[in-house]
Chains A and B, each alone.
Chain A
Amino acid sequence: MSHSTVETAPDAQADWPDGIYALLKQYSIRQVALVPDAGHSRLIKRCLADNELRVVTLTTEEEGIALMQGAWLGGERSVLLMQSSGVGNCINMLSLSSIHRTPMPMIVTMRGDFGEFNPAQVAMGQATQSVLEAMGTLVHRADRAEDVLPTVEASLKLAFNTFRPTATLIGQRVLGAKTFGKD
């Protein structure tokens, strides 16, 4: 039994992160705001390697909502990558989108979801969709790997075509649950 506490994306061999990267390029995203999550690590590496993408690492996720507001003001498209726990940090700042009608697509990797190990993740994980929707965000879930790309694409289209916050929640069933070596 491994006792490693280093989190790795359990399906690191899956290719959907590369597909999300391709969608970010297809939809002309220029600023990628993020607080790192293991489930996004492969996508983050792809973004960092691309000189046409500005990766903005945040101290808290609400900064990303404000960054997306500024990017759109200046004519650039952006996206926010985060873990479900970070959604709670965004709540009031999401009002910027309803104030100004600003596209704000979010791609959220879930914790506190399917087979969670850590009790601390459950409260926010279970509340993630509700609080996003309470702030006017259109939310779509992907719980199978083959659903991730169509769902991300739908969320990007909805954000930029209809000027609002949208979120794709990538379920822990896709990502695998972090086990702290206790599986």
Chain B
Amino acid sequence: MLAPSGKIDRRELTRALLTDRGGMLVIAGLGAPAWDITAVDDGPQNLPLWGGMGGAAMIGLGLALAQPSRRVLVLTGDGEMLMGIGSLATIAHQAPKNLAIVVQDNEHYGETGMQETATRHGTDLATMARGAGIKNTMLVTEAGDVAALVKAARESDGPFFGVVKVDAGNKPLVLPPREGAILQARMREHLMGPQAHLA
């Protein structure tokens, strides 16, 4: 679970979130979270994003409202979450019980040369989520707290918002399919069967 730096390894965090996931659907923000869910457990229950920066949480909201019997996890990075930070107010207002958001906070823009984000300089995303009206939040800095985070993300009354401080080192790239039409169609077929393509 720990990187050599002593911080939580983001891919191992992803593995903990997705192992024995049951019916949980996962939206992953562009960049590292998309590679991570693909490395750990690719399949039709995943939508790894190639674009739409700032939109991951809202995609999760639309999916959670459409599929109230399914758990929906949005796994994203601190830069992506900062870009769509207003959506936390929108999500608090809608209050979907089946939606969890977990931010892998490495305090950097990892895909563009490791420039520092605002979370490197004092911005606390969990506090921002509470300010937006999301009551169920968690900030994790120790590996020993990951199990509690996983349980909260999967089982607690949503919306849940968790932040995990992770090691900033890059992991081996594991790329999902680049054809977005396939990524969308496979999740729709998973949820609705072949009829999905006749809608």
Give A contacts to B, CB under 8 Å: 30-31, 54, 56-60, 62-76, 78, 92-93, 95-96, 99-102, 160
- Interface centre among B57, B60, B63, B94, by most chain A C-beta atoms within 10 angstroms, is B63
Q: Does residue B43 face the partner (Cβ distance < 8 Å to A)?
A: no
Contacts of A100 in B (CB 8 A): 180-181, 183-184
Q: Are A93 and B192 in contact (CB under 8 A)?
A: no
Compute the total of residue contacts between A and B using a CB distance below 8 Å.
Answer: 120
Q: Are A59 and B66 in contact (CB under 8 A)?
A: no
Q: Are B61 and A59 in contact (CB under 8 A)?
A: no
Q: Are A95 and B66 in contact (CB under 8 A)?
A: no
Q: Are B52 and A93 in contact (CB under 8 A)?
A: yes
Q: How far is the CA of A100 from the CA of B185 in the complex (A)?
A: 8
Q: Which of the candidate stretches B85-93, B137-145, B167-175 sits at the interface with the other chain? A: B85-93
Q: Are A63 and B53 in contact (CB under 8 A)?
A: no
Contacts of B27 in A (CB 8 A): 70
Q: How far is the CA of A143 from the CA of B101 in the complex (A)?
A: 43
Interface string of B92-117 (1 = CB under 8 A from A): 01100000000000000000000000
- Give, as a whole number of angstroms, the nearest-CB distance from B70 to chain A: 8
Further contacts, 14 of them, CB under 8 A, given A63-B84, A66-B58: A60-B86, A63-B55, A65-B55, A68-B62, A70-B58, A73-B62, A73-B66, A74-B70, A74-B191, A75-B192, A76-B65, A92-B51, A96-B52, A101-B180
Q: Does residue B187 face the partner (Cβ distance < 8 Å to A)?
A: yes
Consensus secondary structure, chain B interface: helix
Q: Are A62 and B188 in contact (CB under 8 A)?
A: no
Total count of chain B residues near the partner, CB < 8 A: 38
Partner of B61, one of A30, A67, A95, A99: A67
Nearest opposing residue in chain B for A95, CB measure: B51
Give B contacts to A, CB under 8 Å: 27, 47, 50-67, 70, 84, 86-87, 89-90, 93-94, 180-181, 183-184, 187-188, 191-192, 196, 199
List the 6 closest pairs (A to B, CB-CB), nearest first. Answer: A70-B62, A74-B66, A66-B55, A59-B86, A66-B58, A99-B180
Q: Are B65 and A71 in contact (CB under 8 A)?
A: yes
Contacts of B63 in A (CB 8 A): 70-71, 73-74
Q: Are B181 and A69 in contact (CB under 8 A)?
A: no
Contacts of A93 in B (CB 8 A): 52, 54-55
Q: How far is the CA of A73 from the CA of B191 in the complex (A)?
A: 9
Q: Are A66 and B50 in contact (CB under 8 A)?
A: no
Q: Are A59 and B181 in contact (CB under 8 A)?
A: no
Nearest opposing residue in chain B for A60, CB measure: B86
Partner of A99, one of B50, B53, B56, B64: B50
Q: How far is the CA of A59 from the CA of B89 in the complex (A)?
A: 7
Q: How far is the CA of A73 from the CA of B55 in the complex (A)?
A: 14
Q: Are B52 and A95 in contact (CB under 8 A)?
A: yes
- Give, as a whole number of angstroms, the nearest-CB distance from B14 to chain A: 20
